[in-house]
Chains A and B, each alone.
Chain A
């Protein structure tokens, strides 16, 4: 069985500060890992994904995430926050098997202060 835990339902940073959104997963087989972003009144968009190639994955809008198997983590970072980064972020996992069903975390709402 697979699961995802996102620590912190709300994160607030100042514009220009480091963004760190935490995600830990549980999976019985090698996982695929994803970060989605949801802007207000929109659907979820894929930000980046890990599919067993490089452990450091770069996504859109300057975001990146590092797969750490020993820590079962896939934290999302961005060196310098922009006001436009304010959104809800979802971490998700699927297992490398025939079903590949996606399991979402509870989401983290990122607020960016001027």
Chain B
């Protein structure tokens, strides 16, 4: 079975540009999570969705960040405008909420560098 698929794997952009990260969760999973990982702050939960509905976005750092899940098989995380401090690895994870013990399945991550 295909795992969580993220794109792009690497993105290098200049400050001020718009960045869009994409995620395809595992088929049948109904919860999707976006995390950010940096050396300084470790793994941070940004936002999560249940059944395509955003439940908690308290981890989103600023209004420059937005996330959408238009359907069960696709989500985007957008940064506009991007800043150098947004440089990080962004992970998407999914799970099947029914009967779940909480276990998450992670994608390979999108490494963002903002110059």
| Interface residue ranges, A against B (CB under 8 Å) | 32, 34, 36, 41-46, 49, 51, 90, 92, 94-96, 100-102, 104, 106-107
Contacts and interface: CB of A to CB of B under 8 A. Distances in A.
A34 B103 contact: yes
B106 A43 contact: yes
Contacts of A104: 42-43
B70 interface: no
A24 B100 CA distance: 22
Nearest to B33: A102
A100 B101 contact: yes
B101 A107 contact: no
Given A44-B91, A104-B43, A107-B42, A51 B101 contact: yes
Nearest to A97: B102
A94 B100 CA distance: 10
Contacts of A45: 106
B107 interface: yes
A100 B106 CA distance: 16
Contacts of B102: 32, 34, 92, 94-95, 100-102
A96 B102 CA distance: 9
Interface of B is mostly: loop
A38 B18 CA distance: 28
Contacts, number: 45
30 contacts: A32-B101, A32-B102, A32-B103, A34-B103, A36-B106, A41-B109, A42-B109, A43-B106, A43-B107, A43-B108, A43-B109, A44-B91, A44-B93, A44-B106, A45-B106, A46-B103, A49-B101, A49-B103, A51-B101, A94-B101, A94-B102, A96-B101, A100-B97, A100-B100, A100-B102, A101-B102, A102-B103, A106-B42, A107-B42, A107-B43
Contact of B91 (A32, A43, A94): A43
Interface string B62-99: 00000000000000000000000000000101000100
Given A32-B101, A104-B43, 13 more contacts: A32-B103, A42-B108, A43-B4, A43-B91, A43-B107, A49-B101, A95-B102, A100-B100, A100-B102, A102-B102, A104-B42, A107-B42, A107-B43
